[in-house]
Amino acid sequence: MTEPPKQVAVLGSTGSIGASALEVIGASEGRLRAIALSAHSQFDLLLAQAQQFRPRWVIATDDKPAAAFDWAKLPKQCELLIGAAALVEVVAEDDVDLVLAAIVGRAGLESTWAALEHKKTIALANKETLVMAGPLVTQLAQRQGALLLPVDSEHSAIFQALQAGNRSEVQRLILTASGGPFRDLSPDQLNQVTVAEALEHPIWDMGRKITIDSATMMNKALEIVEARWLFGVEADRITVAIHPQSIVHSMVEFVDGAVLAQLSPPDMRLPIQYALYYPERVAGVAKRLDWSRAWTLHFEPPDPEQFPALELGYECARAGGTTGAVLNAANEAAVGAFLEGELHFTEIVPACRNVLESHSFESNPTLAQLVALDRWARQEVSRWVCA
């Protein structure tokens, strides 16, 4: 008898991760099914995805444009739900086996939280949730016995490499970073960077927010915090290595000095697929390394002056408490302001530092406190932009 499909709620299905996940699901020969799709905009794409994948629920989170959109061509078996509250309702449904959290930014928090409360397995792309509320989210997952599987390529690589030893045998995690498009620019050149240039990533084709985060290296800062909470490894045992080829996705060094890495071409479909099928490995659709030609891998330590965001990541990973929520919100707001042309590229990180330093630190915050601080930090960035 064939197994019933694993039913996946794809939250953020119109995004870069969401679309790659649908490719993985589409190629699964019925082993995976998209039971729900959600999007905040691009409803024409959401509709086309619904026509192809025939999910039970289609969630359009941005109320007003969703209500104005013509859904007449939505397949009859799909139920249309409008508004962000529907995310929380759908992830609680018994038939949902796994939730792919691929919404960008703080907006992903409530649905991931609700899914964990309902003991669902999470494939987590939305790193911002862990940056904002890492200890609370990982404790909830543990309490509920829910699996929190990383989709971020670095964390997926670490998760895979960790299977070679015990957690007590881990010496350090080595997060690789492509270095983004501006690795070799002088401070003067960095100051002139335009939005169009910052949106051109040399290797990865991703959503706008994470593409800017990669250019400032704030993405790596967020990933340090993500790794801190996901793997329970102290900040000072997390090292960043610049690796422009993005083939070694990250590494684990064990106490005996052995370093284990996961290699594959830069293609998010592999970490997505690994999380969706976990603990199984299947042939899948991801690109493979070509061993018939010569190639070289390069690693170098990052220059902290070129990338001041990294130090912010370390500070937040060390301090914990309210710092992650403040850093994450300030960064989201600053990236938004940069994309609107209201802030220089080189002002994004100082804006984050400024807000972080002016907040009143709390070591053991509640979720409600973090949500309130998230709002406060965004307002602070707006004030900073206007000043």
Site string for Mg ion, 137-166 (x = CB under 5 A): ---------------xxx------------
Closest-CB residue for ligand NAD? 15
**Integer Cα distance of 8 and 317 in angstroms:** 31
Tell me, rounded to whole angstroms, the distance of Cα 22 from its chain centroid.
17
Among 8, 9, 15, 273, binds ligand NAD (CB under 6 A): 15
Among 28, 112, 126, 214, binds ligand NAD (CB under 6 A): 126
Which does residue 215 touch among ligand NAD, Mg ion, none (CB within 5 to 8 A, set by kind)?
A: none
Shortest CB 363 distance to ligand NAD, Å: 26
> Cβ neighbours of residue 86 under 8 Å, at least 6 residues apart?
38, 57, 59, 61
Query: 10 Å Cβ neighbour count for 139?
Result: 13
Paired with 101 in beta bridges are 11, 124
For residue 173, the 8-state DSSP code is E
* Token reading at 80: 């249309």
Site string for ligand NAD, 243-282 (x = CB under 6 A): -------------------------x--------------
Q: How many residues does the chain have?
A: 387
- Plot region of 175 (φ>0 → left; ψ -120 to 50 → alpha; else → beta): beta
Among 8, 9, 58, 107, binds ligand NAD (CB under 6 A): 107
Using the rule CB under 6 A, is 121 a contact of ligand NAD?
A: no
* Token reading at 326: 């403040």
Using the rule CB under 6 A, is 173 a contact of ligand NAD?
A: no
Among 127, 228, 243, 249, binds ligand NAD (CB under 6 A): 127
**Integer Cα distance of 346 and 103 in angstroms:** 26
Which does residue 40 touch among Mg ion, ligand NAD, none (CB within 5 to 8 A, set by kind)?
A: ligand NAD
**Integer Cα distance of 233 and 29 in angstroms:** 38
Using the rule CB under 6 A, is 206 a contact of ligand NAD?
A: yes
Among 103, 141, 217, 309, binds ligand NAD (CB under 6 A): 103
Please give the backbone phi and psi of residue 238, each rounded to the nearest 5 degrees, phi first. Answer: -115, 120
Contact set with ligand NAD (CB under 6 A): 12-18, 39-41, 61, 84, 102-104, 107, 125-128, 152, 204, 206-208, 210, 268
